[in-house]
């Protein structure tokens, strides 16, 4: 479904990605790991239209999306979260979630001037459902900036989830969390985010990776060094070399 062919990206003299090929398998969780600066975030920035690759092509369901805008990628049912959380801080939790549905209005009777919180019961119910799943119902009227870090991360996932995307790219969803919060996040991803979806997960916490990823891709210096089943990849010689230098 997601097919990246010979993707290269440089920032000045720094080569972030070098002739990278990646085919995402549908409806499984692919972990993307590698040391800092290995090109993980650059890769998902390319997969969501933030950066255009210097060379190579991006296909999604055989459609060439190379060079398209982030808005276009979002319209193609590709959602993401960020390592540095990007919420609408001055909007409430509920408004953050509804903002995700603002361009996905299916009912033609609801025009741009209709009130999204009363006119579209379908979207409203979806938003409440996601709030319930992510345990954010009690915080729905708080401003996003009032939430502590773990809830902010949950809200970012909720915002991605409510649009019912086919693919979700999660960039360090447990970043800055305690072990118990990380465990809870793993449960949430396994139970509510992953089923029926294609997930790409960037994470440094190997316990989270081994707990939820079926497939693993390892990057180092912008190149794919290993790819395969999670348990096999984690014990691969090249991975151990890249991570702990043995």
Partner 1 sequence: MITDFVQNCIDGIMVGSGYSLLALGFTLVFGVLKRLNLSYGPSIMLGAYVGTWSFLNIADNIWLVLLTTICATVVIGIYVEQLCFRAVSKETTIASMVSSFAIWMQLEEIALHLLPERTYPFPAFFDSGLLEFGPFTARSEYLFMFVVMLLLLLILHAFIYRTRIGLAIRAYSDHPSASAYMGIDGSSVLFLAFIIVSIIGGIAGFLILSADSQITPFFGLWATFKGLIAMMLGGIGSLSGAVLGGLILGVIEANAFWYGDPVIRDISSFMLLFTMLIIRPGGIFGHKIEIHQKIASERV
Which residues contact partner 1 by CB under 8 A? 48-50, 69-71, 73-75, 79-80, 82, 86-91, 95, 98-100, 102-105, 110-116, 143, 145-146, 148-149, 152, 159, 163
Nearer Cβ to partner 1 (143/243) = 143
Nearer Cβ to partner 1 (139/230) = 139
Min dist CB 218 to partner 1, Å, is: 26
Nearer Cβ to partner 1 (9/153) = 153
Measured from the Cβ of residue 245, the count of other Cβ atoms closer than 10 Å reads 7
Retrieve residue 187's tokens: 């449960």
Min dist CB 236 to partner 1, Å, is: 33
Nearer Cβ to partner 1 (62/115) = 115
Q: How far apart are the C-alpha atoms of 17 and 9, rounded to whole Å?
A: 5
Min dist CB 169 to partner 1, Å, is: 10
Min dist CB 92 to partner 1, Å, is: 11
Nearer Cβ to partner 1 (38/123) = 123
Min dist CB 67 to partner 1, Å, is: 15
Nearer Cβ to partner 1 (105/223) = 105
Min dist CB 189 to partner 1, Å, is: 19
């Amino acid at each position: 479904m997601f097919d990246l062919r010979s993707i290269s990206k440089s920032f000045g003299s720094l080569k972030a990605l070098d002739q990278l090929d990646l085919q995402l398998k549908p409806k499984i969780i692919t972990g993307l790991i590698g040391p800092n600066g290995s090109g993980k975030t650059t890769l998902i920035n390319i997969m969501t239209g933030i950066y255009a690759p210097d060379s190579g092509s991006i296909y999604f369901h055989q459609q060439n999306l190379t060079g398209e805008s982030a808005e276009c990628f979002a319209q193609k049912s590709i959602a993401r979260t960020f390592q540095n959380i990007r919420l609408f801080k001055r909007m409430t939790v509920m408004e953050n979630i509804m903002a995700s549905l603002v361009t996905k209005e299916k009912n033609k009777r609801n025009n741009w001037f209709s009130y999204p919180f009363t006119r579209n019961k379908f979207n409203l119910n979806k938003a409440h459902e996601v709030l319930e799943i992510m345990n954010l119902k009690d915080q729905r009227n708080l401003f996003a900036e009032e939430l502590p870090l773990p809830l902010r991360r949950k809200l970012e996932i909720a915002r991605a989830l409510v649009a019912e995307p086919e693919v979700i790219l999660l960039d360090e969803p447990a970043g800055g969390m305690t072990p118990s919060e990380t465990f809870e996040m793993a449960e949430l991803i396994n139970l509510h985010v992953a089923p029926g979806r294609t997930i790409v997960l960037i994470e440094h916490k190997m316990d989270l990776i081994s707990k939820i990823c079926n497939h693993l891709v390892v990057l180092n210096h912008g190149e794919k060094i290993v790819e395969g089943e999670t348990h096999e990849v984690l014990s691969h010689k090249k991975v151990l070399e890249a991570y702990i230098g043995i």
